[in-house]
Amino acid sequence: MPEHTPVPTPSADRAARPSTLLPGAVHRLVEVPGGRIHCVEQGTGPLVLLVHGFPESWYSWRHQLPALAAAGYRAVAIDVRGYGRSSKPVAVDAYRMLAHVADNTAVVRALGAETAIVVGHDWGSPIAAHSALLRPDVFTAAALLSVPYAPPGGPRPTDAFTRIGGDEEFYVSYFQTPGRAEAEIEPDVRGWLTGLYTGLSGDTLAPADHSGLFFVPKGARMADRFPTGRLPGWLEERDLDVYSAEFERTGLTGALNRYRNVDRDWEDLTAWHGASVAQPSLFIGGTLDASTTWMSDAIDAYPRTLPGLSAAHLLEGCGHWIQQERPAEVNTLLTDWLHDRR
């Protein structure tokens, strides 16, 4: 179990300030080999590192930080490199998986801890899984939300995504060319985020097709298939204020560069092709999330790929933004699982 580290080191305490968005939490910047990582921290106890996905920020864990703190944990949500107040390297290859694992490891050390439990959602899920895979000495357990674990390997990712798209273009392929997706998103960041959040939410997506948003017809934009109308129940205007303000300030290039490293990851992780994550693990997904339906084979393979799995929970009627759509259920599942680790 991660050691109790209630007092941050002096370097970790640099630039610490109370959060105006989340009472009781503290913002701080920590130094990592690639620059700096912005953290939002609440509570004392064993360290739990929370890693967000695309296109989000530390704020996507706003419901989990106080719940984990109340349960006796030191919960720390980061802005992944390229997001928010964390560093945004210029080079595309600075966003490879190995760099994210190095960031997570350095954050744990900067916070004065030797080990941590890592929790990830969306892109944060594979980042959390690979942190556990590559650094089992640091990450003693991993909880994965929405995106199932699939071991490195298989066909070259961009080749596989081209085949998936068929006559249209799969969204990961659409994101590959620097500047292309940015040109669609950045003229109306708030509108684009609203469409994506709404289109992948359980209470607002079209029941007959929860995957159409991921395919772009030739000559079209991804946003052309976004729904219009009411916001999903979990998303308030003030939440959109937070997300859109961050991306209007930073742009989307750093966030999109994660997608532009899938082939580099495939090459970097050759030695781990087919490898399982042995540490205790947990999976939580939504039944209406395309990630869980497309990757159902990965979930079926968990006895081999996640031999330490405690449980795989699929929340009925839930979409992609699981810890925001169903915060109470996710908090209960996480805290019960964490208590079992003590």
pLDDT value of position 205: 75
Going from the N-terminus, what domains does the chain have, and what CATH number goes with each?
A: 17-152+270-341 (3.40.50.1820), 157-256 (no CATH)
Q: Residues 94, 258: contact at Cβ < 8 Å?
A: no
pLDDT in tens, 190-201: 999 999 999 999
Burial status of residue 339 (CB atoms within 10 A of its CB: 0-12, 13-18, 19 or more) = exposed
Is this structure's pTM higher than 0.85?
A: yes
pLDDT category at 211 given cuts 50, 70, 90 is low
- The verdict on whether omega for the bond into residue 6 sits within 30 degrees of 0, i.e. cis, is no
Quote the CA–CA distance of 313 and 20 in Å, as a whole number: 33
Quote the CA–CA distance of 134 and 265 in Å, as a whole number: 13
pLDDT in tens, 175-185: 999 999 999 99
Quote the CA–CA distance of 47 and 290 in Å, as a whole number: 31
Annotated catalytic residues are 122, 320
pLDDT in tens, 49-68: 999 999 999 999 999 999 99
Q: What is the mean pLDDT of residues 292-307?
A: 96
Length of the chain: 342
Q: Which of 8-22, 227-241, 274-288 has the lowest mean pLDDT?
A: 8-22
